[in-house]
Every structure is written in C-alpha cells, then in structure tokens.
Amino acid sequence: MNRGRQAGGEPVLITEAAPSLFEQHEARKRRYILTMAIRAVCLILATVFYQVLWVMAVFAVLAIVLPWIAVMVANDRPPKKSLNAHRFRGDPDVESLTTPTPRAAVEPVRVIDADG
C-alpha cells in the first residue's frame, strides 16, 4: 500500500508551508553568486572591448551597478502570504444609526419576580 506517495516515491505536498529559512538562505546565496559571476564577466568584457568606447561603457556601468543589485536581491525574502482577514468594507448605513427604533416594534419584556 503506497499511501501518501506519488508514483515517483516523493511524498505528496498537503500544505502550503513556506520554504524553510535554510532553503531561502541557500536560494539567496545562489542568486548573489550568479549576479556576481555576471559582474565578473562584465568586467572582463569591458577590458576586452576597451577600443569600442560605448560597448566598454555599457559593460563598465553593468559592472558598477551589479554589486548593488546582487545585495538587494540577496537580502530580499519571499513575500509574506496575505491573510484573508474579515474586515469591514464600506460605509455603514448612517440613516439606520441615527433613526431610533420605535418602541412598539420591540417585544414586551417578561419580568420574572421572585415573589410571584
């Protein structure tokens, strides 16, 4: 009996739990390393194309901007799930708040007396 497992032997995901902090940190480290590797390539290409000024300038600007982008992306966490809280939406019926309810519409109150 293969309960709770798919054909490939992997367990079935039954929750929408967020990835663990360790997994999030590893993913951010991979993004940072990838961005910095692209920066290194841009630096090398800027030195290769030093004779073509506009190409060298594009690669140089990328090499300058990419470390900032790498840090921003590495520090970014996945967005938190929005909770669907029941909140009041809309204006209350102001007329019903200001108009008193007629006394005749209210049922008579039954008083229970200890003596009777």
| Radius of gyration of the chain, Cα coordinates, nearest whole angstrom | 33
78-102 mean pLDDT: 61
pLDDT of residue 1: 47
pLDDT of residue 92: 59
> pLDDT tens digits, residue range 1-30?
455 445 566 666 666 677 788 888 898 999
* Comparison of pLDDT for 79 and 90, the residue scoring more: 79
10 Å CB burial of residue 72 (0-12, 13-18, 19+) is: exposed
Q: Give the contacts of 63 (CB within 8 A, at least 6 positions apart).
A: 39, 42, 43, 46
Is 59 within 8 Å of 101 (Cβ atoms)?
no
In 3-state terms, what secondary structure has residue 60? helix
> pLDDT tens digits, residue range 40-84?
999 999 999 999 999 999 999 999 999 999 999 888 877 666 655
